[in-house]
Structure 1
Amino acid sequence: MTNIALLLVDLQNDFCRAGALEVLDSESVIGTANNVITYCQQQNIVVIASQDWHPADHLSFAVNSGTQVGTEGNLNGLRQIWWPVHCVQHQKGAQFHPALNQSAIQATFQKGINATIDSYSAFFDNDHQHATQLDRWLTENKIKHLYIMGLATDYCVKFTVLDAVQLGYQVTVIQDGCRGVNLHPEDSHNALQEMVLAGAKLITSSDLLTQSMIVTNALS
């Protein structure tokens, strides 16, 4: 295994077509993910994933907080977007998309389990007081570089990337493997720029696959 891992962020039914929190053009992300997974298998790069895993009484759900979906408020002292009920533990919406090559995923890290606080990042709850097992696992497996892609660009991908950079990982975002919620039209664009400013690199899946072909041809 190399010191690189591919981290797939929240490629779950509720964020895909007909899901409770559908992200536009999310289906294309699944195809891109499968192509990148194949590349990673060829290069001995480990594939891992994060999974939104909310209890049914999660307070980020508008219905549980007496608010309206898509509006903004405050949850336990933190800025909060109120969401529809999504990715509830053990329900179909929380499962990975059926077309995703799930057999390649070697470890899954669940987030958003605490009903009193939201969790966008695959590393921490939004208050950064409680961590998932992701950083520990990466450290134990001597992973230094993360390829990151998934849903959604402007929330879970962005905050995962920012935390990864802050924790000292080299981060490459596969841009065409991400799609955003875009409550405001420029949210995804701004999120990508924020990631770059933090120190992440943006590439496309074609960049990755082309690079692999060049190396293969040079060695043949």
Structure 2
Amino acid sequence: MQPDPATTALVIVDVQNDFLPGGALGVPGGDAVIPPLNRCASAFAAAGRPVLATRDRHPPDHCSFRAQGGPWPPHCVDGTEGFAFGAGLVLPEGTTLIDKGTRADADAYSGFDGTDLAARLRSAGCTGIVVGGLATDYCVRATALDGRAEGLAVTVLTDAVGAVDIQPGDGERALAEMAEAGCTLTTSEEICPA
């Protein structure tokens, strides 16, 4: 399913300090996603197309944290430095922020999970999304797959995602799963030429 550029939004997933190198759950080389995302965000905004950015906004006792029996160290706790977007990320004026994982008792990897992302896209007349951010094998994967489940054309920017790779190859397997679900895998240069 090929996206119509005129009705496609850019969704930047979780480019937050705790997912960048040095953060509580830093993705190795994760800061490499920032330049291509900045270029695409600028291009989308200049064309009058929606730019949305998801972020984990966890309470201190979130169920995904090890102290509550979850798999992860505390990360992206609301109000902390780790919660903030990476300093190098340039979000255009008018970017829509989508907070997820805000309830202590519910996890949310996907930008669609427990948010109004789908409704916002529909109200903007969007039929497709271009997705990049962190991490390939978790929140990018979940957001892309849920986008397909919502009937959207989904394009994943392979040069603007980074994987945790807890098991070696998790990122590559996630990309293959997204492609199998009908997502288009391409690069930011193809979508937003320099």
TM-score normalized by structure 1? 0.82
Structure-1 residue corresponding to 2:132: 149
Residue 59 of structure 1: aligned partner? 63
1:94 aligned residue: 83
Distance in structure 2 (CA, Å) of the matches to 1:186 and 1:146:
25
**Distance in 2 between the 1:138 and 1:161 partners?**
14
Q: Secondary structure at the match of 2:151?
A: coil
1:30 maps to 2:13: no
Residue 183 of structure 2, aligned match among 200, 214, 217? 200
Question: Which residue among 97, 100, 110 is the counterpart of 1:121?
Answer: 110
- Structure 2: distance between partners of 1:90 and 1:100: 18
Contact 1:121 1:156 in 2 (8 A): yes
Specify whether residues 26 and 34 from structure 1 end up closer, same or farther in structure 2 by C-alpha distance, changes over 3 A only. Answer: same
By relative contact order (CA 8 Å, sep 6+), the higher-ranking structure is 2
Q: Which amino acid aligns with 1:47?
A: V
Q: How far 1:200 moved relative to its partner?
A: 0.5
Task: Measure, in 2, the Cα distance between the counterparts of 1:104 and 1:6.
Answer: 14
Equivalent residue in structure 1 for 2:101, among 112, 125, 132: 112
Q: CA RMSD in A?
A: 1.6
Matched residues, percent identical? Answer: 37
2:24 alignment partner in structure 1:
20
Q: Deviations over 1:26-85 (max 9, x none)?
A: 1111111111112223332211110101100012101232xxxxxxxxxxxxxxx60010
Contact 2:45 2:92 in 1 (8 A): no
- Alpha-carbon distance in 2 for matches of 1:40, 1:140: 17
Higher Cα Rg, which structure = 1
TM-score (norm 2): 0.93
The alpha-carbon deviation at position 105 of structure 1 amounts to: 5.1
Structure 2: tracts of 5 or more residues without a match? none
